[in-house]
Amino acid sequence: MTKKTSTKVPTQQASYQYDAIIIGTGPGGEGAAMNLSKSNRKVAVIERQKDVGGGCVHWGTIPSKALRHSVSRLIEYKANPLFRFSERPQRLTFQDILHHASDVISKQSSLRSSFYDRNRIHLYQGDATFVDAHTIQVQHLDGSQELLTAQTIVIATGSRPYRPPGVDFNHPRVYDSDTILDLTHNPQRVLVYGAGVIGCEYASIFKGLGAKVDLINTRDRLLSFMDDEISDALSYHFWNSGIVIRHNEEFAKVETQDKGVVLHLQSGKKVKADCILWANGRTGNTDALNLDAIGLKADSRGQLKVNEHYQTEIDNVYAVGDVIGYPSLASAAFDQGRIAAHAIVHGKCDDRLITDIPTGIYTIPEMSSVGKTEQQLTAAKIPYEVGRAQFKHLARSQITGTEVGSLKLLFHAESKEILGIHCFGERASEIIHIGQAIMEQKGQGNNVEYFVNTTFNYPTMAEAYRVAALNGLNRLCD
């Protein structure tokens, strides 16, 4: 990336209030702030909301996963034979399960607030805009303004749901993935536009609550970045549960009514529902930062370009998290903040995000993967073998009544090096990390035979690794 030369006075000739100012308190901002503070830097953070945590805590990761957990437990309860002859509870509503999510949000925000206090980081609440490359204006919640200066600025403002023009998001039956948490009525039929991660997760949630769900997918298959078998398993499970999936569809317009919406598709179809959840894309939160003041420009999606140290084209300005795009994961954002902080303090950082970042998708059931898919290995002409374990054969799954799902291991047919791990089923996002730990080992440490030669607790879901490894090794040609 071409670097621009900063026109600001060198550090030794300037006096700043802070060594660093972090804009945003999501995972990326937190990772940068904490690591800079622990390196004895004087740090300030600016948060536009009344509580810290960013979109991850308040609208995205934490709320949707808390909602999903409640619905998943309800589904398990209904399927448990111990309760078949007892009185059934009344149908839960979205508002009922929001109480649990609200408790988790409050606990997470309070915990994260204590981190800033304990590390003596100054917190300013309000909107941040650039005055120049070292000066930030804070518009406080009470309307007052304040100027802050720092040698280094880190942009960690996250992202928000994309809102296409022509869709009335002020209508009480039109939601995005942020405003859906304000849902006050009890929809019987929900329309989800966008079958990405967020769309699939909320389709699961509403279906689990008993609503009829129409899922509009603008592509030809669900979550095509996943291994085909895992993606197909989710599609089948959605179909089997009654979710209607409409592939290769694009919207023409959204017609709003007093008690619902009608989605007009370019194919000529019309889909009616009590409400619509728009979950098709996200935009970086950079438009209100006055980036023109420092000569920095975001792309059409509001995202910033950075180098390997998360440094932008302006020498003293860094950016981390969703605002720089891929991989747009909370876990990765925290690491990006940590790496950026190290580079700020030491001038460089040899650490990088790991190559194989695990993916966790909190549908019902969950999906998770790390490493290569079968399609990628086939395209690269890498000889591999497949080992599978069906959850319905595991004693732990039978005990818990969560028999839907499987674990899939991909390993090199000659060296037996683990190349990819894919999991579909309850607790998939946890199960995947057992394999990830072995996969990340170098040399002989990364070998599928590890799962055969080690001893697992019994009965556990971890035993799936031994079953899958034996299944795959038995397929090898002598």
Domain extents in the chain: 11-161+283-346, 174-280, 365-473
What's the start-to-end Cα distance of the chain, in Å? 50
DSSP 8-state class, residue 183: -
Longest dimension (CA), the chain: 78
Contact 447, 409 (CB under 8 A): no
Contact 279, 178 (CB under 8 A): no
Contact 273, 191 (CB under 8 A): yes
DSSP 8-state class, residue 194: -
> Residues near 338 by Cβ (< 8 Å), separated by ≥ 6?
31, 32, 35, 351
Please state the pTM of the whole predicted model. Answer: 0.92
Nearest to 223 by CA among 331, 376, 363: 363
Asked if the domains 11-161+283-346 and 365-473 are classified in one and the same CATH topology, the answer is no
- Exposure letters 171-190 (e unless 16+ CB within 10 A, then b): eebbbbbeebbebeeebeeb
The neighbour count for residue 460, using CB atoms within 10 Å, is: 14
Nearest to 424 by CA among 464, 374, 386: 464
For residue 63, whether the previous peptide bond is cis, meaning omega lies within 30 degrees of 0, is no
Contact 104, 33 (CB under 8 A): no
Contact 304, 283 (CB under 8 A): no
List, as residue ranges, the binding site for FAD. 47-56, 65, 157-159, 322
* Architecture of domain 365-473 in this structure: 2-Layer Sandwich (3.30)
* pLDDT tens, the chain, 478 aa long: 444 434 343 444 469 999 999 999 999 999 999 999 999 999 999 999 999 999 999 999 999 999 999 999 888 888 777 776 555 555 788 988 998 899 999 999 999 999 999 999 999 999 999 999 999 999 998 889 999 999 999 999 999 999 999 999 999 999 999 999 999 999 999 999 999 999 999 999 999 999 999 999 999 999 999 999 999 999 999 999 999 999 999 999 999 999 999 999 999 999 999 999 999 999 999 999 999 999 999 999 999 999 999 999 999 999 999 999 999 999 999 999 999 999 999 999 999 999 899 999 999 999 999 999 999 999 999 999 999 999 999 999 999 889 999 999 999 999 999 999 999 999 999 999 999 999 999 888 899 999 999 999 999 999 999 999 999 999 997 6
List the CATH code of the domain at 174-280.
3.50.50.60
Q: Phi and psi dihedrals of 450, rounded to 5?
A: -55, -40
Distance CA 249, CA 247 (A): 6
Residue type, 270: K
List, as residue ranges, the binding site for NAD(+). 194-201, 281
List, as residue ranges, the binding site. 47-56, 65, 157-159, 194-201, 281, 322
Domain 11-161+283-346: which topology?
FAD/NAD(P)-binding domain (3.50.50)
